Structure 1
Amino acid sequence: MPRVLPVLTVAALAVALAGCTTGDPDTGSTPDPSASASGERVCATPGDGTDKVDVTGEFGAVPTVVVDSPIEVDDTERRVLIEGEGEAAAYGDTVRVDFTLYNGTTGEAATQTDYAEGAQAQFVLNEAAFIPGLVKTIECSKPGARVIGVVPAAQAFGENGLADFNISAGDTVVFVVDVVSVDAPLQPAEWTENVPTVERDADGIPVVTLPEGAAPTELLATVLEEGDGATVVAGDSVTLNYQGTSWEKNEIFDQSFGGDPATFATTQVVQGFGAALVGQKVGSTVLVVIPPSLAYGDDPQAHQLGGQTLVFLIDILGVNGV
């Protein structure tokens, strides 16, 4: 009788597959975000490792996988089984996937997602947020693709392993991934008309003066000062100072200026705020206006900022701890 694999839920995925793989944030496993954003990344390719994995079955269904173990690789290898159609996934894109995970050292099945409609795992392709080997396996894949990724321990679960699924320290792992959808990051339009004026007081705290008239109805941003540091990629952890103003009330509702800078991932804030950070360089000052639909929604009863258009002045100080 076939073994029934434990299902890796979306919540468990965020814990199991997130962060630095070796348990030491100073090992250099965190990628250079400027290189990630500049197009210098290359697609992982097939090799002797992927040749030792046999997969059968249809896209969207649990695959039958045979691993000729043990497999050892120095870098993530990737082989496309089903090509898919459309725009290939790029670093920083959001993907929805189903996958099955095998231990490449022992050949044993480890876990899988549900393979149920609407239950796919969703996350951002960013090595600062998820294990590099999974990102490299999915990157360059089109919607509808099925791909194999053979991943060394250094780009998977490293010295920690994944004990709940019988993956030990140093084990190679094998992913078989079905790429259900790929979405590029949301991008604000350029803010060129009725842009607020910005001044700084003696302590460097911004004073944002809104123009008269109705609030913009779309997501708009303008770079007041461009930095020369690393470029923010979707999913990055960004350190910044910010000041938030309600357009309708013409008053500041929150700010970090005058206190400690804030640090959070672009995926941990309202959608419009995160979108304003992506693609910007460390050292930049950005002004963004966010309609309610991309902030706290249209319902004033659901949130104290519901139904309000928000203006943020943002100083980007660092990314991924740098």
Structure 2
Amino acid sequence: MSRVRSAALSGLLAVSLLGLAACGSDSSDSEEAGASLSSVTITGDQGKAPKVTFDGPLDGSKTESEVLIEGDGEEVASGDTVEAQWWIGNGFTEEETQSTWGEDGKGKPQSLEVGDEVLPFLTDTMVGKKVGDRVVLMTPSDKAFGEGGGARFNIGNRDAALIIVDIMGRKDTVPPLDGPKGEEKKPASWAPTLIEKDGVITGLDFSTAHKPSGKLIATTLVRGDGPVVKSGQTLTVNYLGQVYDADKPFDESYSKEPAEFPIGVGSVIKGWDERLVGRTVGSRVILEIPPADGYGEEGNEGAGIKGTDTLFFVVDILGAS
């Protein structure tokens, strides 16, 4: 029986890999065979940073793998988009070289498409496994990272890489909609009218709209029948923005490609964060955004927006991932 040990399954934890620093290590030039995977002790709950104890340098010529903690989620296939966390160690120096959990253990999972050849070890540890699994892999550096790739993780080509992967979640990849999809609704009387040409929105008509209220308000033109938008997701939208009573929009995507951006995390103006989270994919809405929830007192000179301008947007929510 393997001496590799682990603790019981625990709750999921969310993380991001970007910007992680690796620790320095040297490579072994010895041809002497090292220890097997069973010499390593691994403890900790799935979803939390593992504690790894080596009992001598590992064999850099063999590949061994084991599922330490079994999950009960969906099986992962090549091409799936998943969220995962991982720990990487140098099997010769017996040192950690990288961890998505970071030094404080609070890092967030990395979202990735399984099958990406940039990091082959992710495919080796995840295809055929289940969400909730913790998998450990001992393998030669070039097999884990591609030829010469171990240098990025301070692991020499003759050294074993020890890798622990927690499969945190699987995302269903749904292509964005082509346009609004759902139940049409009568907009509020305060809203401007859409100006369209050949079915494409080109502007807003304020002739029957009220004067700016000074409040952040929204009205629904189509209530989408898709999933609810959550904070932290990446939205795909078409939109048009126009200053109140202006003759033309200051920005729009209907004549271009849909825009993508994180929502609810401060990446866009406050009015978008507050009024798009909680809506459903497929929705079309009109937003009235006062300066405080838009570009503030400074406005946006590049877009011709003054600090006193109220902004109106029509937004089609085409996707959320």
Alignment TM class, shorter chain as reference: 0.3 to 0.5
Q: So what's the TM-score if we normalise by structure 1?
A: 0.46
Q: Which has the larger radius of gyration?
A: 2
